[in-house]
Structure 1
């Protein structure tokens, strides 16, 4: 069964449209007629569209591995990093360390902090948009907000700051750098991906250097939690992989 395709060998090509109804319709069609579909886009990949299939695949780490490819498109530099690009048992210490910091009690403590960050960032965005509308003399100008680029990047940075126990002034730096890094990855620009990644690594090095000198509660500090773990060989996790 073929849908909108770019190659006779393909079962589908992802719809390039911002209308969610069209996107949902494509996945409904795939689920009913071609639940395991293939495309040659972005290097080629298979797509599972039914919940039970996705659940079984996610639980079968022997058959469906992450060490070859876990992100589409792949890192333009060909780099694989834990825990995303690793399989058990190499994956296990990273997951153990991070899960330790995501227990319900801690999430409840973080929730009101994140709500305040979200409200502040959204209020500022709405206020700026309102001022822009007032300055626009065009009667046909519609108010528009790109929630992903204008809100998502900044709020995600504040989530990281709260979860990793970073200083507040790091949030805008993290938001800008991470957004540039993601865009470079999407464009498969290896040089720019490396440049922005280097800035993120600098933040991580400073964080781990501090935690090595003064560890914090491993249940509320991811870096301190990671420093407690050992690899399958019983040795401490490699510094570069930690970062």
Structure 2
């Protein structure tokens, strides 16, 4: 269940008992009740136990969550393979039964060394030259939509743009962008028990094969591109194993597409409701980066991260034991009124915005500058080109209860049609 049980949460407990917070982030009602749920948890049971999915701890206050994110020695994100071949741990509850996303599902020191291989490609300085390329690409997309007076935020802009950028960053064929992006978006939007999900898995395998073939070719004949630099790099005096290179590349692709797509959908949905802020973007384009950052705080596309306890840890009434899983609610942290006054209000003039949408610590999202650039360009160009656009909410299709990602399958919008340029 994900609603408050009768009698409330058992935050006040007798010695030796766990504070109980029966949360199920995969339940059908969680997407619509999560914000209110975590507000109540933060006040009554900031760290509590849920029996769902084999049992795990739930954290709902900012400081506890941030502390866990900066202590990988105590809260591990590593995914490990058991003797029976199954996977345990990792960044989700329950654990996904596929190879680890590296370095996301890896602990220091090796995880930090792997991260250091990709950070130079993704720094603010490295990605800023892409801004005119992204702007030109978005403008071409909008030109195609202008005569129709209608577009889909997700499928026509939100998915193609990050996919194109990923191909640019990795030196892949741009014509493959749509196919590369599709399985990562569909993984969250397609029912896991449907025939189409088998296609999702097959296409995910195709992406992995593409990356592996490309990586092997560039290790044999390297060029001046990101994949070549990765596959020819050394860590601790030895080449990075090819399997780990593929894990890193899969993380870059997966992290670079669907989350940004969903962030755009939430941003345009909000700007459709707040026309004053939309007008401010038109009048003061310099505010766009602050708009992006505040909307990322208010509507994080990834709602929670997960960790595994490695040593006994006491937080208030909760005693966390080694091996137990912990769900860190980014959504709850970003709406903690002790850190963000009036958290449900979108306020682009907040002081330094310490939200946790990109995580924190050694696993903070390496692609955050790429995501911000993409969102800044997409939002500014759409608002400027189609200033009267309106979201057709009755036709929008939201993800079912995916447990971790908050997004849309489609989000139609209409505007006054324009002649082609």
- The two structures have a TM-score, normalised by structure 2, of 0.44
Whole-Å separation in 1 of the counterparts to 2:222 and 2:72:
36
Structure 1 residue 148, shift from structure 2 partner = 4.2
Whole-Å separation in 2 of the counterparts to 1:83 and 1:164:
17
Unaligned segments of structure 2, at least 5 residues? 11-19, 79-88, 247-421
Structure 1 residue 241, shift from structure 2 partner = 1.8
Structure 1 residue 163, shift from structure 2 partner = 2.0
Q: Which residue of 1 aligns with 2:229?
A: 225
* Pair 177,120 (structure 1): closer, same or farther in 2 beyond 3 Å: farther
Whole-Å separation in 2 of the counterparts to 1:84 and 1:18:
24
Q: Which residue of 2 aligns with 1:171?
A: 177
Structure with a larger share of its residues in strand: 2
Whole-Å separation in 2 of the counterparts to 1:149 and 1:31:
36
1:187 aligns with 2:192: yes
1:113 aligns with 2:124: no
Higher relative contact order, chain-length normalized (CA < 8 Å, sep 6+): 2
Cα RMSD over matched residues?
A: 3.5
Q: Which residue of 2 aligns with 1:72?
A: 93
* Pair 78,201 (structure 1): closer, same or farther in 2 beyond 3 Å: closer
* Pair 63,171 (structure 1): closer, same or farther in 2 beyond 3 Å: same
- In the TM superposition, what are the counterparts of 1:16-165 in structure 2 within 5 Å? 16=29, 22-67=33-78, 68-75=89-96, 77-121=97-141, 124=144, 130=150, 145=152, 147-148=153-154, 151-165=157-171
* Pair 36,111 (structure 1): closer, same or farther in 2 beyond 3 Å: farther
1:9-41 Cα deviation digits (max 9, x unpaired)? 54334473665xx54333322222222244344
Q: Which residue of 2 aligns with 1:142?
A: none
Structure 1 residue 103, shift from structure 2 partner = 1.9
- The two structures have a TM-score, normalised by structure 1, of 0.72
Partner-residue secondary structure (3-state), 1:47 = strand
* Pair 90,182 (structure 1): closer, same or farther in 2 beyond 3 Å: farther
Structure 1 residue 205, shift from structure 2 partner = 2.0
Structure 1 residue 182, shift from structure 2 partner = 4.4
Of the candidates 13, 22, 29, which is equivalent to residue 11 of structure 1?
Answer: 22
Structure 1 residue 166, shift from structure 2 partner = 1.8
Q: Is the 8 A contact 1:12 1:37 kept in 2?
A: no
Whole-Å separation in 1 of the counterparts to 2:143 and 2:69:
38
1:102-161 Cα deviation digits (max 9, x unpaired)? 122112112232333345446656765739xxxxxxxxxxxxx5x445543333312311
Partner-residue secondary structure (3-state), 1:60 = coil
**Number of aligned positions between the proteins:** 219
* Pair 78,209 (structure 1): closer, same or farther in 2 beyond 3 Å: closer
* Pair 193,62 (structure 1): closer, same or farther in 2 beyond 3 Å: farther
Unaligned segments of structure 1, at least 5 residues? 132-144
Whole-Å separation in 1 of the counterparts to 2:60 and 2:146:
36
1:204 aligns with 2:211: yes
Partner-residue secondary structure (3-state), 1:30 = helix
Residue range with higher mean Cα deviation, 175-184 or 27-36? 175-184
Partner-residue secondary structure (3-state), 1:82 = coil
